[in-house]
Structure 1
Amino acid sequence: MAQTLHRKRRNSKPPSKAWRTVVAVFLGAVIIGVGAFLAFTFFSKGEPTTPTSPPPPPPVTETVQADMEAETLAPRRIPRGLTTEEALDEALYSALARLGAPKNSLRIRKSGKIEGLDRDLIEIRAEISTAFPMSMANHQVQSSWREAGGDIIDCVENRLGRQVTIQAGFGGITTRRVVLSRQQKEPLSGKVCLIIDDFGALPLREVRGFLSLKIPYTASVMPSEEFTDEVYSALVDADIEMIVHMPMEPEGYPRVDPGEGAIFVSLPPREIKKRIESSIAKLPRAVGMNNHMGSKATADKPTMAAVAEALETTGLFFIDSRTSVYTVAEEEVRKRGIPVTSQDGNIDVSDDSTAIAKKLLELALASREREGGMLIVGHARPNTLIAINRVLPTLEKWGIEFISASEMLAYRNRED
Structure 2
Amino acid sequence: MISPKQLLAGLLLSALISSAALGEPGQAKLAIIIDDLGYNLRAGLRTIALPGAYTLALLPSTPHTLALAQAGAAEGKELMLHAPMANTAGLALGPGALTESMSRAEFTASLRHSLEQLPGIKGVNNHMGSALTPLPRPMGWVMTEAAKRDLYFVDSRTTASSRAYEVASAYGLASAQRDVFLDHERDRAHIATQLKRAIAIAQHKGQAIAIGHPYPETLDVLEQAEPLLRAAKVSLVPASQLVRKQTPGAQACLLPPVMLRRPLTANAPVFASKKWWVLRYLMPSGYERKTPVEKHDINTRS
TM-score (norm 1): 0.51
Rounded Cα–Cα distance in structure 2 between residues aligned with 1:381 and 1:207: 10
Which residue does 2:13 correspond to in 1? Answer: none
Correspondence 1:401 to 2:235: yes
Secondary structure of the structure 2 residue equivalent to 1:299: coil
Secondary structure of the structure 2 residue equivalent to 1:390: coil
Which residue does 1:392 correspond to in 2? Answer: 226
Over 3 Å counting, the alpha-carbon distance change for 1:214 and 1:412 in structure 2 is farther
Rounded Cα–Cα distance in structure 1 between residues aligned with 2:117 and 2:199: 33
Once the 2 structures are TM-superposed, how far is the Cα of residue 290 of structure 1 from its aligned partner?
0.2
Q: 1:151-170 residue pairs with structure 2 within 5 A?
A: none
Which of 1 and 2 has higher RCO (CA within 8 Å, sep 6+)?
2
Once the 2 structures are TM-superposed, how far is the Cα of residue 311 of structure 1 from its aligned partner?
2.0
TM-score (norm 2): 0.70
Which residue does 2:111 correspond to in 1? Answer: 276
Which residue does 2:40 correspond to in 1? Answer: 202
Rounded Cα–Cα distance in structure 1 between residues aligned with 2:189 and 2:224: 9
Rounded Cα–Cα distance in structure 2 between residues aligned with 1:378 and 1:297: 21
Which of 219, 225, 230 is residue 67 of structure 2 equivalent to? 230
- 1:342-376: per-residue Cα shift (whole Å, max 9, x none)? 111100111222221121012212211114x1111
Q: What is the root-mean-square deviation in Å for CA atoms of aligned residues? A: 2.1
- 1:282-333: per-residue Cα shift (whole Å, max 9, x none)? 1111011000000000011221122122222111111111011111111112
Secondary structure of the structure 2 residue equivalent to 1:355: helix
Q: 1:237-256 residue pairs with structure 2 within 5 A?
A: 237-253=74-90, 256=91
Correspondence 1:291 to 2:126: yes
The one-letter code of the counterpart of 2:180 is G
Which residue does 2:144 correspond to in 1? Answer: 309
Q: Is the 8 A contact 1:194 1:378 kept in 2?
A: yes
Once the 2 structures are TM-superposed, how far is the Cα of residue 267 of structure 1 from its aligned partner?
1.0
Secondary structure of the structure 2 residue equivalent to 1:351: coil
Once the 2 structures are TM-superposed, how far is the Cα of residue 401 of structure 1 from its aligned partner?
0.9
Once the 2 structures are TM-superposed, how far is the Cα of residue 274 of structure 1 from its aligned partner?
1.2
Correspondence 1:376 to 2:214: no
| 4+ residue runs over 3 A deviation | 185-189, 410-413
Which residue does 2:53 correspond to in 1? Answer: 216
Q: Gapped runs of 5+ residues in structure 1?
A: 1-184
The one-letter code of the counterpart of 2:233 is G
Rounded Cα–Cα distance in structure 1 between residues aligned with 2:246 and 2:141: 25
Q: Is the 8 A contact 1:220 1:244 kept in 2?
A: yes
Once the 2 structures are TM-superposed, how far is the Cα of residue 219 of structure 1 from its aligned partner?
0.4
Secondary structure of the structure 2 residue equivalent to 1:337: coil
Q: Is the 8 A contact 2:175 2:245 kept in 1?
A: no
- 1:26-59: per-residue Cα shift (whole Å, max 9, x none)? xxxxxxxxxxxxxxxxxxxxxxxxxxxxxxxxxx
Q: Between Structure 1 and Structure 2, how many residues are aligned?
A: 226
